[in-house]
Amino acid sequence: MNTNIDLSQLCTLGVGGVAESFAAPDSPEEVQQLIKAAKGSPVYVLGGGSNIIFPDGVIHGLVISTRNLSTITWHDDMSADIQAGYKLPVLVKTLRDKNLAGLEFAAGIPGSLGGAVSGNAGAGGHGVCELIESVLAIDSSGSFRVYNQKDFSFEYRKCSLACENIIILSVKMKFREAKPEEDENIYQKFLSLRKNQPLNFRSAGCTFKNPEGNSAGKLLDDCGCKNLRVGGAVVSDRHANFILNTGNASSSDVTGLIKICSDKVFNNTGIRLEQEIKNASPCFFALL
């Protein structure tokens, strides 16, 4: 357990305050011990830090990083248990090396598997939750829980598990044998889509979800949001759905700019964009 950890250094956007208590457990059992010891305290979870904004100042309670929960255990040639901290780009590469397929749409998406599951990360109408057979999680009492495929639902950028007051520990996923030429073409197609994103600056990825039948980036661009700035946060002039940290942005700069952009689109089009970047909130308060 560590204290006063600067969370801005652990998030891709580079903003956020200081964790009052911070731990990076090496096993599900260690997570269980931490939760049982955190009686009455708010418990946050931090995965790869690629899609989250922690507030400025002191974050009271316990922040659990899943970065050391990063093993993969194969059951057979097609299925494996993968811990929540396993990095999604590493998983995509692992599958390609094993001549397996199913995650080509995730080419170039950063972050950890746990975060990818909670937000059903994906592209082109596909999401990681499609491949899940079961999920091992832990709740506010420190009890382990297993969710089978029938126990949860998912849709575009949403998974019901994210609303269950739990921490995802590992995921059992089933893949398929690759069709080399076909799947490689799909992989390269999705990888090429990332080339239009402003990857040379710190960001948290897409700020808003795409409304049905529309593009958040185009709406933001059409409403004049490119280059809008609050403090050290600026809307990318390359892709309007990305907010960049120019070097000294605070969380309040980012959240202020998000509101300005959301309001501009709503005032001009009547469409209220739904935020894709997550504002950090406790998974739960550990039971006394």
Q: Reply yes or no on whether 157 is catalytic.
A: yes
Nearest alpha carbon to residue 263 among 210, 245, 255:
255
Catalytic residue among 225, 261, 276, 283: 276
Say if CB 116 and CB 129 are below 8 A apart: no
Which of 11, 129, 159, 206 is flagged as catalytic? 206
20, 30, 145, 157: the catalytic one is: 157
Residue 163 known to be catalytic: no
Q: How far apart are CA 103 and CA 130, in angstroms?
A: 10
What are the residues facing 278 on neighbouring strands?
A: 52
Q: How many CB atoms lie within 10 A of CB 237?
A: 12
Catalytic residue flag (residue 272): no
Do the Cβ atoms of 255 and 15 come closer than 8 Å? Answer: no
Positions marked active-site: 157, 206, 276
